[in-house]
Amino acid sequence: MAALSWIIEHAWSALSGLVYVLLNPLTVWNLSEPEAVMRFVYYGASPELFLLSTMLFFGVFAYGVYNREFLWRIVGGLEGFSNSIGRLAAWAGLLMVLQQIMVIFLQAIFRVSDIGLGPVGLGFDRPLGWWGDSLKLYNAIVVCMCCAYTFVQGGHVRVDLFYAGVKYRTKRVIDMFGALFFMIPALLLIWHYSWFFMWRHLINPKVNASDTLDGMIRKARAFRWQPETIGFSPNGFDAYFLFKVLIVFFAFMMMVQAAAVFYRSYLEFVGGEDDEGRGLDRDILDAADPDTTEGAA
């Protein structure tokens, strides 16, 4: 009874909070106001957001059971979002290679000590060690922002003990179960702790997952922006807070993909083998290779 009361209370708070956000967007998103920032930090990993997301997830699914074409459009939109972000972020790999060549070339031949971008005195000047150390960021961008894209493309390694040998609809049930009871709970946990981990390196005073809303509002009295700028070496990369932001982005992208996996698995289960791979947008690397063309749009 207490659990039901807790759910009803927070669900009502979530719905009323959503209405307030829609009616007062300038107040809520005013990140120059300390109390607004602290409220944003709290609600970003709060029970209210969890319940609102859960209601949205199952609400879309419930309507999709009635209108499967609507759910197919949702799946196409979610997978298209993952593909678009992944294809854009993949260019970070090329930038990483070009920057590495630039650093080696300038260091070995011209013996420069720093590299500047833009007009002299007004540009972005950093020591050569900073540029070399920042290569880690490109690698992190590829890993965090292309993970959902790789999932859509079928590029992740599957530890297959019995999946390949079961029937078509059994595979779809396994995919639905895995998305709902493994992917989503694990990603919610990653989101919850990485959210506060990120904000602890962006603002002061520090916030924690155990802080209440009232406690955070009290902390707003001493609020100030303080992004982490400490590198591992005196001349090394000094924007490590960006890695924390990428962890949060990874969790969000993979939760979107987990929802797409659940919806697609249901639709393919109901529609049968004729619907397998419907609308799946996969990149074709080699037209002669059947593994890369299977399921391509």
Tens of pLDDT, residues 73-94: 999 999 999 999 999 999 999 9
Q: How many other C-beta atoms lie within 10 A of the C-beta of residue 86? A: 21
Identify whether residues 113 and 154 lie together within a single domain.
no
Pick from 51-65, 146-160, 272-286 the range whose average pLDDT is largest: 51-65
Domain with 244 in it: 68-82+146-201+240-297
Q: How many CB atoms lie within 10 A of CB 167?
A: 8
Residue type, 14: A
Q: What is the mean pLDDT of residues 27-35?
A: 81
77-91, 132-146, 150-164 — which is least confidently predicted? 150-164
pLDDT at position 294, please? 45
Rg of the chain (C-alpha set): 23
Least confident of 72-76, 125-129, 177-181: 125-129
Question: Is residue 138 domain-shared with residue 244, that is, in the same domain?
Answer: no
Predicted structure pTM score? 0.89
Which of residues 112 and 282 earns the better pLDDT score?
Answer: 282
What pLDDT score was predicted for residue 132? 86
> Average pLDDT for residues 150-158, to the nearest whole number?
87
| pLDDT over threshold 90, residue 65 | yes
**Each residue of 192-208: b (16+ CB within 10 Å) or e?**
bebbbbbbbbbbebebe
Residue with tokens 């854009």: 88
Flag whether 275 is in a domain: yes
Report the domain count for the chain: 2
pLDDT at residue 118 tops 80: no
pLDDT grade for 61, boundaries at 50, 70 and 90: very high
Residue 187: pLDDT band by 50, 70, 90 thresholds? very high
Q: Residue 33 has what DSSP assignment?
A: S
* pLDDT over 60 (residue 210): yes
- The answer on 248 and 195 residing in a single domain is yes
The pLDDT value given to residue 209: 86
The reply to whether 278 and 258 lie within a common domain is yes
Mean pLDDT of all residues in 27-56: 88
Q: Let me know whether 244 and 196 are in one domain.
A: yes
Which DSSP state fits 225?
A: E
Q: Which of 257, 189, 86, 191 is nearest to 265 (CA)?
A: 257
Whether 286 is in a domain gets the answer yes
Mean pLDDT of the residues in the chain: 87
Give the tokens for residue 33: 């106001």
Closest CA to 90 of 41, 148, 31, 163: 148
User: Which of the four pLDDT bands, split at 50, 70 and 90, describes residue 297?
Assistant: very low
Integer angstrom CA distances of residue 133 from 41, 61, 125, 237 = 30, 45, 14, 5
Structure confidence at residue 59 (pLDDT)? 95
Q: Is residue 18 part of a domain?
A: no
Q: How far is CA 215 from the centre of its chain?
A: 27
Contacting residues for 263 by C-beta, under 8 A, at least 6 apart: 60, 61, 64, 71, 74, 75, 78
Of 28, 4, 8, residue with least CA distance to 18: 28
Closest C-alpha to 128, from 156, 154, 153, 109: 109
Contact of 237 with 134, CB cutoff 8 Å: yes
DSSP SS3 for 169: helix
> Is residue 50, in this structure, part of any structural domain at all?
no
Place of tokens 């944003």: 40
Asked if residue 82 lies in contact with residue 249, where contact means CB atoms within 8 angstroms, the answer is no
Inform me whether the pLDDT recorded for 117 exceeds 90.
Answer: no
The residue that leads in pLDDT, 120 or 104, is: 104
Which of 142, 160, 175 is at the close of a domain?
142
Q: Is the pLDDT of residue 272 over 70?
A: yes
